[in-house]
Structures are given as C-alpha cells and as structure tokens.
Structure 1
Amino acid sequence: MSLTRDFSEISAITGVSGVSGVSRGSGFDAATLADVGGKAANLGELTRAGLPVPPGWVLTTDAYRQAADGLDLTPGDGLAERARRHLLQVAVPGPVREAIVKAYAGLGADVPVAVRSSATAEDLPFASFAGQQDTFLNVVGAEAVLDAVRRCWASLWTDRAVAYREAEGIGHAGVRLAVVVQVMVDARVAGVLFTADPVTGRRHQAVVDAAPGLGEAVVSGAVNPDRFVVLGGEVRERHAGDKRLSVRPLPGGGVEHVEHVERVESVGDAERGETGGLCLTDAQVLDLAALGARVEDHYGAPQDIEWAIDPDGTLWLTQARPITTLYPLPEPARPGLRVHLSLNVAQGVMGPFTPMGVSAFNLVSSGAASLFGHGPADPLDGPAFLAEAGQRLWIDLTTPVRSRMGRAVLTRLMPLGEARAAAVVRELVHDPRLSVVQTSRRPFLRGLRRFARRVHAPARVRDALLSPARALAHAARVGEALDRRLDLPADATPAQRLDHAERVLGGLFPAIVSVMPIVITGYALLGLAARLAGLRVGDLQDVLRAVPNNPTTEMDLELWDLATRIEPEPFREASAAELARRYLAGELPPRAQRGIAAFLDKYGHRGVAEIDLGVPRWSDDPTHILGVLANYLRIDAGSGLAPAALFAKGARAARAETDRAAALAAGKGRWRAPVVRFALGRTRAYAGLRELPKFYAVRTIAAVRHSLRAVGDHLVRTGVLDTADDVYFLRLEEARSALAGGDLRDLVRERRAAYERESRRRHVPRIMLSDGTEPEALAGPAPEGALTGTPASAGTVTGVARVVLDPTGAHLEPGEILVCPSTDPGWTPLFLTAGGLVMEMGGAMSHGAVVAREYGIPAVVGIPDATGRITTGQEITVDGAAGTVTARSGDEPR
C-alpha cells in the first residue's frame, strides 16, 4: 500500500444513506477514515466533487504506525508526555522519508505548503476535534516538511487532544494520525464560514468571519475579525472588527504576526469606498455563502469551512468539517416553520431515549391523542404532534401557537410546568411567520368536550367537590385496574408479550388521566381561595407543603423510616457500588437486607429517567437508592433536618397559612372564611395526587420492561442479539420482526454507540424551531449580579452549592444546596438532605418545584445554565420567593 495519496484519489463518502434522519455526511467510508483520517477524507471528497481545493496529498496512517512502533501506551499519568517524546525523537523510517520527499517534490520545487494533522478521530460528523492537533503553515523545503510531519505526529498526544478524546469516549489505543500536505494559498484575506449560525442554530444562515492575511488569525481567535451574516441571498448583517493583527507568510518559510497600530480598513484602496472599512465586499461574501451552500448540499449537513482569497481574487476552500455543536432537526420534517418543545426537558430527562423507550412513548402518546379524536392510523408511529431529534422527543406546538384559543391556553398553563418555555412562547407569538391562522374556538372546544366525556370529567369534579372519599377511592381503583391489566402468564410466548406491551401501553394514558380532573379541581379551588382572601396564588404556597396522598413523598418518608431502623454499618463506610454488590449477594446485615428488599418490592419500579422504558430501575440496579440511604444515615434523627420533622413542620405551616387566608377572607365578608377553609382543605386533599398518574405510568412501564426482557432472552437464544438488554435498543416493530430470525447485533452496537455519544451532549434546547433556531439564544445575557429564575418554593437559605448532573451515586451533605439541570422522581430522595434547590429547567408547577414546596426547602427553577454558572463549593443564597440566586460578595456566579 502506498504511504501517500493524492487528494484526487480519496473519496470519503460511501453514498447517500436511506435511513431516516441520517444525513449523507454521516456515511463516511470507514476504510478511508482509517487510512487518511477525517481532514484528508474531507479534502479528498471536496476535490473529487470539483470544489476549489488547493492541490495536495496525505501521508497515510501506516506511516504513523511505523513511526509509533514501540510506543508505550500504558494508561496512567505521563502517557501524553511519553508518547510526545517518543514521536519527536524517533527517526523517520526510511521508506516513509522517501515517500514524503518524493510527494513533496511532486508539488513543485520548494513550494510553500501547509502541514496539518488528519487523525482517524477528527472532522467527523459527531466530533470535530477542531484545533486539538497542530498545523504548521508556510513550510518550505523537504527537511522542513519532514520536521513538521514529526511534530504533527506528536500533536496527537497533546494534553488537550488526550482530554478531548476522553471526553468524547474515544479510546487512545485505536487512534492513528495521517498528515495532510497542501499547497499554501497566498491569502489576501481569509477566515471561517459557517453554513448555519453556530450560536442560534438557524440553518441556511451563513456566518462569515474574515480578516486580512492567513486564516490562522481568525481560527486561533487572535484577531477581532469582520463578521457578516447572510440569509436568503442577502447580506443581513455587517460588523467591522478592529483587525489589529494579521498573520503573514515569511520568505523562505514560517509566518509572522503583524500588529497594526490602527484598524485595517480594507484589503485594497480601490475597494475602500465599497466595503466601508470591511475586508470583504458584499459580492465576495455572497460568493462565499454560495460556495458554502454547495459544500453543505454535497454533505447533506451544515459545515464549518476554512477559506482563503488569493491576490487574483480566487476563492479557495482549505478545510471543511461538520458543525458538530448544532442540535439535530426534528424528524419527520413538516412544511412551514414549526415550533418544537423538548419533551425530555419538560420531563426532567436530559439524556436520550432508548429506541424501545421511543416506541413506548409513541404508544402512550397515541393513546393521549385518541382522547381528543386525533389518534394516528398506526399507534406505533406516534401522534402527528410528536417528533424525534437527537434521540429525544419533541412536541410540535405550532398548531396551538397559531391558534387564538391555543395561545390563550399555552400562556396560562405553561408557566405552571415550564416557566422558561412559557417566556419563549410569549415572544414567539409576535413572530409574523407564526401569525394566527385559526381564530375559531370550535375545534378546541370540540376536542375538550370529547376529552371530558372520555375521562368522565364531570363525575370526577362532582366527587372532588362533594366526596373526597369517593374521589380518592377512584384514584386508588385506577392503580388496581392497571395492575390487573399487567397480569401475563409466566409461559407467555415472545409474540404474546409484544402484543401485551402494545395493548397495555396504548391504553395507559386514558386510564391514568382520569385522575387529573380531581387534581385540577384542587388547584382551581386554590385559585378561588386566593381570590376570596385578596391574595395571589403564589402567596398561598405554604398550603401545598406536606400534602397527603403523594406517592413520591410517601416513598421518600418510607426510605427515611428505613434509615432509622437498619444497622448503620456498613452504610457509613462502604461506597454505594459496594453496598449494591453486598445487597445483591445477600450480604447486608439482616434488618437492612430485609428492609431494602421490602422497599424495592414496593418502589423498585422507579429510577432516574424512569419514563424511558429502556433504562434500568432501582430493582435492576439499587446503587443510587442505597447511596441515598447512606446519606440519610448522616442526618441526626433528632434534628430539625430529619425528613419526618420537616414534613410535620410543613403540615403546621400549611395549617397556619389556611388560618391566615381564612382570617383575611373573613374581613371581606363573613361567608368567605368557611368557603376558603373548604377550598383549601380540598386543595390539600388532592394536590398530592398530581404525582399519582406518573407513579402509575412508571409502574406500568417497568412491568412491560420486565416482560420485554424475556423477549430479549429469546432473541439471544436464537442468535439475533448478544444480550437480553439489547432488546431495548430495538423498536417494538423491530423486535416483532426479529422473532422470525436474523442478526441484529451490528445494528444494536451502532445504536448503543450513538446513544453513548448523545448521552454526553450537555446542551439540549428547551424550544427549537424547525429551521434549527433556538429562540432562547436570541435573548441577551442575564442581568448582572443575581441569577434570576422562577420562584418555586418560598424561603431563603444560604449554603454551599453542590452541582449534580446525575443523581446516581451523588453525595449531598445535609444543608447543601442542590444545583441540577432538572429533576424527575428519581432525584427526590436527594431533596431530603438538601438545604435548597436550584434547577435549570421547570416552572412553579414542575415536579421539582412541587416536591421542594412539600419539603419546605427554598427553590428557584428556570435559571439558564445554572450548572455551568454555579460551581460546587461556592456559597450561594437562594431566595425562593424572589426567584434569585446570589453568591457571596466577590464570588459572583458566572
């Protein structure tokens, strides 16, 4: 095999993929990547597509393999330094040296070249590695090229490259480095072009950064460049940078950094009037945008492009890579501008869904749509309002946003569950592209009547008003009926199990939602009581503390009770993982072993991200809940921080708040006081039921998960899958097809790898338009000083922040303030040791806010990037009434 390959010999793409949602740019040829790396593969692909790429060649990874022979890759401290030293000191192998000299001579006599790394994990659709390895510009002469090649090899082992690979989950041992050698463009002006806006996410909005000289000044951030924004074939924005530094090639090789005392106004005097001090004319900007569109169209995905314009005015592409930071667009795409709300964010599940989890949610949501008369033809497809992107689910809000009645409902109800999303929607209604097209109330009222009739809402409301016993009995009967539906013979066939899963999941929502009219009645009576007392609803938050009939609160208190009864050892010494190992092996002390088994028998269906059928439950892996139990043992049972004491304190505060509201109401009329007491009594009786539908849903999902594992066992025995848990990386229809045989192991491996990559994604938009725009990114920065969010639970607390991104194994000292992206019930055991709560997501009625109020801990939700702007160990003050978080003087949040 040749050690060098010309760009024109390289094709990076195997062809257009037929898989829905997979762009052409993701079909990279694995053999090509292994041979020449990502950067060279892209340059070769662009060359073969007829795009203007300077000529060049690539030294293949086989050359690196020869040079790296004998490299000690033993993991541990010093790995990066050892590898760099070896590659910088090793002699270039003879055949490699000969190939480099020959290929360089083929470009011309002592022609200036750029020498760039091209790693096998670089410029990929999911990981760009931009700037992680080194580039050497204006390299002149064969010996200089040889030296630059050696330094490129060594740059595979810079500390930053090693850290990046580890963050992306890419193993060191399998990474190789090719080296690109490309004729230098004598750049008059150069820079970077993004074919989609990398900040707002808007697709087909080109952003150009440009500065005089070589593009290195722009890429490295050493200069404040001119910036241009192109949309719809027009230059929409122009921003002049100071351009006080430029990078210029030196005669004989190397570059110099030239500082300019005054701003560089333009590239040439003749164009100064036309550009207005900018280094590109509008015509050049539009040419760049058009060229970028050709590159994007070729790859089928937005691109990050480096370019240069030579003294003759010729435009060159020097590099192209996918923009990996953009969030994928929802599929299937629908015509017109659409508004999508992240269901994951709204549910407090930041990670991706497993394929089986998506199937389950499609079935459940299809059942929900059917209540309003909009069920899909095939429930497995999910309703029309549900889309998928980034292995997460999105709710299409376009229809209500463009409806007069829908807007009224959204703006009133969304603040209760997702305050930040509600604020975005309030701004979106002013977008002329989302003007009202449905002015009639009749479609909404028709759907509402159908829903109310299907769930027997009038009867449920009547019971809630007249007979709490009947209302609560109905809520209990819903759970009992669901449990009966879960009965399945132990010897059920795989096909019967799949039929059962579809039947149970499809009917789940109509069953559990019948509890909600009771809950809504309770909150409506809260609003009535507030009005009669002359208060705002937010003034009566204490009424919602320590409410009964909440399965999540009951679960947490039972876990606390268990902590008071079990043997304290080994919980005070062993790690959560070790405790789990001992429990599963039956090696914990007797009371602990029995107590934990009883707790998991009742609540083992719960877990973190529990709405995804594909994720483990506490009964599958008790590590998290045993870690929480160990935390509880750190609390003095006689202190005011004990959960039972906090709950009792909350109940007293609720009674006092009721007395206060009744007294205020009495001052406005004698009849008002008893009505307020009646209303608030009903509110407390039913508010806890808010958590009951999800409790039932998760119990059902966990039972289906357990049943489907038996299907996985069958598919392992028939050679379709490697492990039983692989069944969760199939969709229901795929599992059914697999019963006939086949081999899906490669498909599952690909999906698991994609799932792991998506699990590392830190940013998920709350609301995203179908053109990729994140409306929140269009807003200005948060005010200086305090971080502001939505008040969620009144009270003020000052304490040490503890940033937690994943509750599994998390440790929270009593009184610490929990700072997290969002929460679902799997997080709530941590609340009992928390002094306060700060969340990036949620509204006043979101899960975390409700539980925080019940536990009486101050809470603020909806603070953008709270987990990034607050650091563990920082002392902060949470004001749950004002909705602010402030830091100790001199230590402000970022």
Structure 2
Amino acid sequence: MDLIELANATDMTLVGGKATGLAALIAAGEKVPAGFVITTRAYQRDELPEAQILHWWATHCGGQPVAVRSSATAEDLDDASFAGLQDTTLGVREPDELLEAIRSCWSSLTSERASAYRERMRPGTPPPMMAVVVQQMVDASVAGVLFTADPLTGLRSRQVVDAVAGLGDAVVQGTVEADHATLDDGQVPQPIGCLRTAHLEELQRAGRRIEAALGSEQDIEFAFDHEGTLWLLQSRAITTLYPLPATDDGQLHVYLEVGHMQGLRNPVTPMGAELLSRAVTAMGGAFSDVLERMMVFAGGRMYLDMTFMFRSDRMRQNLPQLFEIYGSDPRVAEQLMEHPELQARRAPLRARLRAVPLILRLVALAPSTLTGVIRALLQPEWGRRRAFQAPILSDAPHGESLEDVLNAAEQAQDLVMRRGMWQMLPALYGGLAAAALAEFLLRGIAEPGEMDLTKGGMPHNPTTGMDLQLWQLAQRVRAHEDLFADREPEDLASQWRQGALPAIGLEDFLARFGHRCAQEVDAGIARWREDPAPVFAAITGYLQLQDLTQAPDARFARAAAVAESTIDELERRARAQGRTLRGAAAKWLLRRSRRLAGLREWPKFAWVQSIEQGRNYLLELGERLVQRDVLEATEDIFYLELDQARRAVAGESQMEAVASARASYEREMRRVRVPAVLLSDGSTPESTPEMNGATIRGRAAAPGRVTGPARVVTDPRTARVLPGEILVAPTTDPGWTPLFMTAAGLVSETGSPMAHGPTVAREYGIPAVIGITDATHRIATGDMLSIDGTHGTVEILDSSPVGDGA
C-alpha cells in the first residue's frame, strides 16, 4: 500500500508520527485539511509511484496548492518531536514541483542535523523510515502555534499562542516577531495584534478539547481562514514538560525532590519505585499512612509532598530550614510561603483526629529510643554490637510457585525495615546527638569548619571500609599492572568472569560489598556482584596514583589525626577562655561521637543487602516468566509494577506494558534537568544561583580549600578520576565513593551536608561544595577550579576546551 487517505493513517510504521497525529485529530472531530500519505513502503522501495500521487492529488486535494510535510516513523513522538529537522514545502502548485518536494522530504531523513538529533534522543535505535503527508493549503488570514501548557514554566493551566497574519511557517522557523498571547484557564483573553478575541477564545476551547482527546499536553499548528474557521495542521505531544504526580483534590501541591539524598538522580525503575515506597512505609509503622501520602514519584524521581507543612501555622516557619537540609534552596520555600494558595489553614477535624495515634506512637517509642541512645553513649561497644547484630535478611524459605517467589521479593525488605532499623538507630542517634551537643557547647569557641574537621577519618563506617579495601585490591593489581593498564572496565569485567585475570582478592571484596552499586536503593539496578565493571574502573583509576602520601589510607589516617588534634585544641581553647567544664564535656561528647557516628552508613549498608535479596528473587521470577512467554527478557520484570507482575504470574502477557514503561524510563534517563521543587500545576519554581564573576556560591559540605582540574562525571559505573582532579557530579551515593579515593575535592549539584557523599568526603578529608545548580553543564572537564568547602564557593579559574564530561 503506497498511498493512504489521511483519515485512515493510523499505522505508525506505515505513515509516521505526523500523519497519525493528524488522523487522531480527524477521529476526534477536528477540522483538518484534506490530504493523503505516501507511505513508508514507497520509501523502502526508493521509487515514487508518480502516476498514483498525481491522481490522488487531483482526487483528494482538487489539484489545489498543497503543503508537503515529512512524517517519519521517529517524528512527532511523545519523547522526541524532531521539530523542524525534516523538510516541509508549502504552496506546491505544479506536478513536477510536488514530486520534487516529496523526494526532498525523503532525503531530509538522513540529513546531518536529523541524524545527530536522532542519535542523541534515541541512541542505538534502528534507522527510521519516511512517509510524506500531502495536504490542501489553507488560505490563512492568521496562523501560528498553540501550546496547551506553558513550555517555559511548565504551568498546565496556561496555554500559549504565537501567531502572525498569513501563513504560520515563519512562526515555526522563528524568522519573525510573532504576536504572543497567554490564555489562562477561567480568564477571558484579550486581543493582541493579529489575534482577535474570537480567535483566542476558539483556540482556548480547542486546546483543552484536543488535549483531552489525545491524552497529553499538545504543540498544535493552526490556521484561521478568511471566514474565521479554525483548521488544525499538526498536533504532537510537548516533549519537554516534567511529568506530574496524580492529584484529585483540586488543590495546589508542593513536591520536594528528595531522591538525591539516596543518590537517586536518574529515574527509578517501576518495580524499584514500588518496592522503595513499600520499604519506607514499612519502616514508618504507625506513621506509614503519613509516609505513603507524602512519598510520590514523578518522572521516576522521588518527591515528598510538603503541602501539609505549608498549610500548618506551626510547621511552615521551619520550611526554609527544611528545604536547605534536603539540599534545596531555602529562598524557594520563602517565595512559596507567599503564594495565596499555600497559606496556613486550620486542618479539618478528621485530619486532627488522624494525628492522635501518631502522637501516641511517638510517646510510646520515646522512652525505649532515649534509653538506647543514652546506653550507646555510655557503652559505645554495646551500641555498635547491637547495630551490627540487627536482623537484615529473612532466612525463611519461599515456596516454588511463581506467586511465592513474587511474594518473597515483595517482602524481602520487611524484616530490616520493620525491626532491624529500629535496633540500629539508637547508636547512630547517640553519635549524632553527641556531635550536635558538642557543637552547641563550643559556640564562640570553634572556628568555621572546625567541627567538620572533628568528623574526619571516622571509624566503623562500612562505606569508607569498603573504599579502603578497594584500595588494597589496587595494590595487589600493581604486580600485574601491564594486564590492567589501558583496558576498559567492561573488558576487564568480562576477562574476570572468564577466569582470565590473576587473583587479586576481588571475590572476597564482592562477597562483602558486592550488593552495592550506584543508585543502589533501586532494585532494578545491577549490583557489583553481577557487573563488577565499576570496581575495575575504580581500580584502574587508583593505578594512576604514584604519590603514596596521597594514598587513600594515608589520607584517611591524616584526617583521623587531624580530628583528634582538633578535639584537643578545642578543649584547650575552651580552657584558656575560662570554660573548662564546657570544654571537657565537649571533648567527651566528640570522642563518644567518633566511636558511634561512623554507624551513620550502617543502616543503608544493611538495607541494600535486603534490596539485593529481593532483586535476586525478581530475577528468578523474570527468568521463569520468559520461559512462559509472558515477558521477552528477564530484566523486563523491573519495568512492571507489582499488580502487573501479578498479572504476569497469572499468565497474562505484559510485553506491551514493559515496552511502554521502558520507553518512559529511557525518556527520563535523557532528561537534562530535574526540578528540585515541583508544583502540581506544573510550574517549577527556582531561584537564581548566587554568583560573583566566576565564583559560584553553593553550600559548604566538607571543609578545606583545593585547586585542581575538573572531572565531570554523570555516570560513575565506568568513570575514572585522576589524582588531583576535582570530581563534579550531579549527586553522589556510596556507589560513587570509590571515585573519592583519588579526587582532590567534590562539587555536586544536589545534596545535603548530612547525605552520604558529603559525609564520606569529610571522612576522607577532601573539600566538598554541594548545591551548585547545573554544575555538570556549567563546568567542563579540564576547567581549573578552586573550591572552598568551608564557605561553600566554587571559582572557575580557567575554562578549558578539553571536553564536557565523562
């Protein structure tokens, strides 16, 4: 079939994206100029059916002037628009001109700009095919583009119009100054330029109507003829809007992105998100319903719904500080506190009654928790032993049925979250409380950054222990350096699996730490035990370190020595100021803190073991579902939610659901900017980063000052940081920390001083600055940086043309 009437153009593989969009408009009852499609079959044969085309032109378009538009199979899609990258020819009047315009569309598919865009947006996908749409031209009095959501702010309640008198191609191409109007829901639009009130009201209605019919916000090309009739020339999804959580109460909600606190900057797999939500609510006990309401996922990222705090007289005053703790800009909280829809209001009686059991739960927990904290401070060894003996993995055997395996995967995290965490936390709280109380006692005595120095080289931290053991592996590799040098991590991992590498102790390392990886709280991510390429990347990076005075174990020991000497100096200074008792108490508290606070990383270290256990169950389930032809690949199980997995277990194919979820996941993986704060109306409030010339102000996270070249890393799995380089990253979690071993400093876009990355940076004694918006885009690999982790500043001393990251 070489030609199809536009109304019947519903097969994407045959007619491409633009044609299917137009057919959908026709099916929805909208007015679309008559036309037809030259299908991809003709393109595949690379031969124009000239006689048929001219016949259809006469029959379907009356031989009138037509527009010839590309309609590739990778065009006008939900995740990539290809706007303007393939050819359109307007006002075609002659037969030869028509045939040449079609050939031009065909050739534009493989143009340099279209190929480059396609590789960026859909890397590695098969080459698309080209269909061509031929439509009657509209004799336009006014034409342009309508967005059914504001593409700049993300506001869903506002439509935006750009239009000119006559044909609208100049608006699309950006070659003229168009008349611009905003259409806010519920407001009567005002005329502007060529756009009369009648035009705007018709567009306002049409936009909402089309959005509802097609199921998403739309980018629509339109034209009004001289009789005032609205014609639709194209409609495609707006590909840049950030997805919103579902709400049904009609109120404005505020969502704070918090996934970066656990190293989640990339989207979480659907199964990973569901298991993560279940684990967090399981830990909450009586608070689980509150956590369940607060925790939402948007675009695969984890957010907290902070709306109830904005509506509370008592809580709202703490919001700027809370935003800062969670790595967001407190100025955004202050701006939102002025929003008329986010003012304090009295909670309904039902909500206040719902809080009663939570209060009772807090009262019941307080004595035992406080007792545990006090005993841990008095007996640190008891506190550590109790934390290390907390239950983590269930040893109860699961049944052999698919239902049993799925249930085991779903419940794998329950034991550690419901019981283990509560056994681990008192010792950790004791260490943190001791440090906080010591800081209070040393006010006016300690200089800026000195309290952070007391946290360097903290013992009993499983993450630093992991990194130091990795350094020991690197030392064993030096005896076989010729086998490891200049080899890609994936190649080394493959050689190791085949037993082609010498023994360096990697098996022992993976036995203890193989459950870890970057973004490790997502069960959908492969563990180091499955893919040790990141471990080899770290090892080969360590081999670049020749100055053993900068070796990780030496740096860690120096940080510990500095911490101890700083504690002694603070006590001496307090005594010199006549505050002997205060200094002695602070010294005791800081020493107790050092014996406990390293446990800060232990709960997550333990939790991730249960995540791996659940992942292994899911891999077993996925493999068995593949054998039953319900899934195509074992890993597909992670692109299902639990209800879908149950349907798969019942024998219902989930291949279509997996394909849709994978497409959404891959689209979000390509997203460059993730809003730190998201409103339910789609807007993403931000504040401008403070800058002074080439100096960017972020947040102090680990004290010290260092100068060195930047190494921008967006994926830690196969990255290397050379000795002396400053790691610039979007976020960090324990899976990133092997890179810290050679890094001279750390700059990250997100984070809190309490998050894993800054904590480990302090323990290694490397300066860290966090909260630098778009750092991985504003800084390039090779830029010479000077970072001040005490005052939270990054200065770009010299920009380098070397590249833009790793």
TM-score, normalised to structure 1, is 0.83
Residue deviations 1:365-392 (CA, integer Å, cap 9, x gap): 22133242637xxxxxx92323333334
| 1:604-643 equivalence runs, <5 A | 604-636=514-546, 638-643=547-552
| 1:754-773 equivalence runs, <5 A | 754-773=664-683
Partner of residue 353, structure 1: 268
Partner of residue 636, structure 2: 726
Partner of residue 302, structure 1: 217
Counterpart amino acid of residue 438 in structure 2: A
1:145 is the counterpart of 2:130: no
Distance 1:572 1:38, change over 3 A: same
Output the CA distance in 1 between the equivalents of 2:782 and 2:599.
Answer: 36
Cα distance, 1:155 vs structure 2: 0.4
1:580 is the counterpart of 2:493: yes
Stretch moving more, 344-353 or 298-307: 344-353
Query: Among residues 463, 477, 494, which one is paired with 1:552 in the alignment?
Result: 463
Partner of residue 43, structure 2: 64
Whether the aligned pair in 1 keeps the contact of 2:450 and 2:566 (CA below 8 Å) is: no
Partner of residue 433, structure 1: 341
| 1:624-663 equivalence runs, <5 A | 624-636=534-546, 638-663=547-572
Counterpart amino acid of residue 462 in structure 1: I
Cα distance, 1:601 vs structure 2: 0.4
Partner of residue 136, structure 2: 183
Cα distance, 1:736 vs structure 2: 4.6
Stretch moving more, 842-851 or 743-752: 743-752
Cα distance, 1:503 vs structure 2: 3.7
Query: Among residues 199, 205, 214, which one is paired with 1:284 in the alignment?
Result: 199
| 1:688-707 equivalence runs, <5 A | 688-707=598-617
Whether the aligned pair in 1 keeps the contact of 2:392 and 2:609 (CA below 8 Å) is: no
Partner of residue 195, structure 1: 148
Residue deviations 1:553-582 (CA, integer Å, cap 9, x gap): 111011112222333331223221121112
Whether the aligned pair in 1 keeps the contact of 2:449 and 2:703 (CA below 8 Å) is: no
Stretch moving more, 171-180 or 302-311: 171-180
1:37 is the counterpart of 2:36: no
Residue deviations 1:419-445 (CA, integer Å, cap 9, x gap): 43x543333222221122357999779
| 1:36-435 equivalence runs, <5 A | 36-67=15-46, 93=48, 96-106=49-59, 111-169=64-122, 173=126, 175-234=128-187, 275=192, 278-331=193-246, 333-372=248-287, 374=289, 383-408=292-317, 410-420=319-329, 422-435=330-343
- Tell me the SS of whatever aligns to 2:719: coil
Output the CA distance in 1 between the equivalents of 2:433 and 2:523.
Answer: 33
Distance 1:856 1:188, change over 3 A: farther
Cα distance, 1:340 vs structure 2: 2.0
Q: Runs of 5+ in structure 2 lacking a partner? A: none
Stretch moving more, 562-571 or 714-723: 714-723
Whether the aligned pair in 2 keeps the contact of 1:359 and 1:731 (CA below 8 Å) is: yes
- Tell me the SS of whatever aligns to 1:320: strand
Cα distance, 1:675 vs structure 2: 1.1
1:880 is the counterpart of 2:789: yes
Partner of residue 5, structure 2: 6
1:849 is the counterpart of 2:758: yes
Counterpart amino acid of residue 185 in structure 2: G
Partner of residue 452, structure 2: 541
Output the CA distance in 1 between the equivalents of 2:754 and 2:791.
Answer: 16
Residue deviations 1:808-841 (CA, integer Å, cap 9, x gap): 1112211111111111111110011112211111
Cα distance, 1:482 vs structure 2: 1.6
- Tell me the SS of whatever aligns to 2:700: strand
Report how many residues are paired.
793
Output the CA distance in 1 between the equivalents of 2:730 and 2:44.
Answer: 43
Output the CA distance in 2 between the equivalents of 1:119 and 1:781.
Answer: 44
Partner of residue 670, structure 1: 580
- Tell me the SS of whatever aligns to 1:619: coil
Distance 1:281 1:729, change over 3 A: closer
Whether the aligned pair in 1 keeps the contact of 2:261 and 2:752 (CA below 8 Å) is: no
Whether the aligned pair in 2 keeps the contact of 1:309 and 1:315 (CA below 8 Å) is: yes
Residue deviations 1:301-327 (CA, integer Å, cap 9, x gap): 100112233444443322111001112
| 1:700-849 equivalence runs, <5 A | 700-776=610-686, 785-849=694-758
Whether the aligned pair in 1 keeps the contact of 2:689 and 2:773 (CA below 8 Å) is: no
Output the CA distance in 1 between the equivalents of 2:554 and 2:121.
Answer: 45
Partner of residue 78, structure 1: none
Whether the aligned pair in 2 keeps the contact of 1:364 and 1:507 (CA below 8 Å) is: no
Output the CA distance in 1 between the equivalents of 2:287 and 2:99.
Answer: 70
Distance 1:178 1:745, change over 3 A: closer
Output the CA distance in 1 between the equivalents of 2:647 and 2:761.
Answer: 46
Stretch moving more, 451-460 or 807-816: 451-460
Counterpart amino acid of residue 582 in structure 1: Q
Partner of residue 508, structure 1: 416
1:471 is the counterpart of 2:383: yes
Cα distance, 1:749 vs structure 2: 4.4
Output the CA distance in 1 between the equivalents of 2:581 and 2:632.
Answer: 70
- Tell me the SS of whatever aligns to 1:50: coil
Partner of residue 438, structure 2: 529
Counterpart amino acid of residue 99 in structure 2: L
TM-score, normalised to structure 2, is 0.91
Output the CA distance in 2 between the equivalents of 1:563 and 1:5.
Answer: 64
Distance 1:172 1:351, change over 3 A: closer
Distance 1:226 1:528, change over 3 A: farther
- Tell me the SS of whatever aligns to 1:425: helix
Output the CA distance in 2 between the equivalents of 1:753 and 1:154.
Answer: 27
Cα distance, 1:332 vs structure 2: 6.0
- Tell me the SS of whatever aligns to 2:389: helix
Distance 1:789 1:224, change over 3 A: farther
Residue deviations 1:835-887 (CA, integer Å, cap 9, x gap): 22111111222221111122122221111111111112222222222322222
Distance 1:368 1:430, change over 3 A: farther
Cα distance, 1:106 vs structure 2: 3.5
- Tell me the SS of whatever aligns to 2:131: strand
Output the CA distance in 2 between the equivalents of 1:873 and 1:604.
Answer: 32
Residue deviations 1:517-561 (CA, integer Å, cap 9, x gap): 433343333333233221577552111211112111111011112
Distance 1:443 1:459, change over 3 A: farther
Output the CA distance in 2 between the equivalents of 1:648 and 1:452.
Answer: 42
Stretch moving more, 159-168 or 719-728: 719-728
Whether the aligned pair in 1 keeps the contact of 2:694 and 2:797 (CA below 8 Å) is: no
- Tell me the SS of whatever aligns to 2:500: coil
